[in-house]
Amino acid sequence: MLTHYLLFLAKTATVVLALLILAGGVIYLSRKGARQRGPRIQVTDLRAQYRRNGFLVEQHRLDKASAKAAAKARKRREKEEAADMGDCTFVLDFKGDLRASAVTNLRDEVSAILDAARPGDRVLVRLDSGGGMVNAYGLAAAQLLRLREAQLQLIVLVDQVAASGGYLMAVTAHEIVASPFALVGSIGVVAQIPNFHRWLRERHIDFEQFTAGKYKRTVTLFGENTDAGRQKLREELEDIHSLFRHFVTEYRPQLDLERVATGEAWLGIRAKELGLVDRLATSDAVIQEAARRGRVLAVHAQSPGSWTQRLGLRAQQAWDGLIGAGNHLPS
């Protein structure tokens, strides 16, 4: 039995080692490919897209003679618009997850816009996020501040949700526009972590952890948590919440923080009454309004294209998830 057991362990160790080597190789290749290719920016002329779609519907709505006349008028209008080098509106999309992974593309998109923008241009950010890690969303907010510091008009559009870390990003804007039933707010912080200490103790499994520094660890997954550790974690959360409140106050000083910084979130209609957003509208309405005034360009940094890059990115995210347990999250 011992021989069979040792053989089983050897096979298992071999499989695990092979998987680790494969994952490491894929991550290395993906990073190498990303360095070689660099960021790829895709630009879509949304005004032209709206015009094409509208023209298609118009052709079906009109009779043959009227449709022909409308097509000629459209060509004249397109020439006039092409000659108009007035203000431009840029559109960015940010779909947030727990780790704000989209910040990687956001930084490239912001850099591209800053290199091309002119005085008077505006940036619309379609934001959809329920929040996540403090440091990740803090970086995302800082990327948006680069646009504001460049004297570009920054407007955040919320169709569904901008809560917690999402709202941390939203407050950097000169104007926040939300749909009537979007979820907005949640100015609060939460940290949650399971503890398996009792389960391990019942099975006579010891867990040992060695640290240097009084508060290197406060609460853990497998050790026995103490009241002192819990208290320290609460103090850290309160400090993060205080910084969150201060950041919101800096960019939206009109808010009554005692009323809105409770960790609650509100639908767009209530958020407007509380001053969390400035007006109610869908992102589509705002973008079409901009298209009537001038050129509208959607800027998107493309994700890694090859299968090794995509697989490497997924492997890296999975690994980060394993080692990142216990980080503080805006709630």
Active-site annotation, residues: 164, 216
User: How many Å apart are CA 168 and CA 157, to the nearest integer?
Assistant: 14
pLDDT score, position 14:
85
Give the tokens for residue 26: 């894929």
Query: b/e string for 235-245 if b means 16 or more Cβ within 10 A?
Result: eebeebbeebb
pLDDT score, position 326:
39
pLDDT score, position 104:
94
pLDDT score, position 55:
78
pLDDT score, position 28:
73
Q: What is the DSSP pairing of strand 153-163 with strand 175-178?
A: parallel
Query: b/e string for 84-118 if b means 16 or more Cβ within 10 A?
Result: eeebbbbbbbbebebbbbbbbbbbbbbebbeeebe
| E strands in 11-142 | 40-45, 88-95, 122-129
pLDDT score, position 325:
39
State whether CATH 3.40.50.11540 applies to domain 39-330. no
pLDDT score, position 323:
43
| Grouped pLDDT means (10 residues each) for the chain, 331 residues | 72 80 74 60 92 83 76 71 74 96 96 94 97 95 97 97 97 98 95 88 87 87 89 92 96 95 96 97 96 94 63 57 45 47
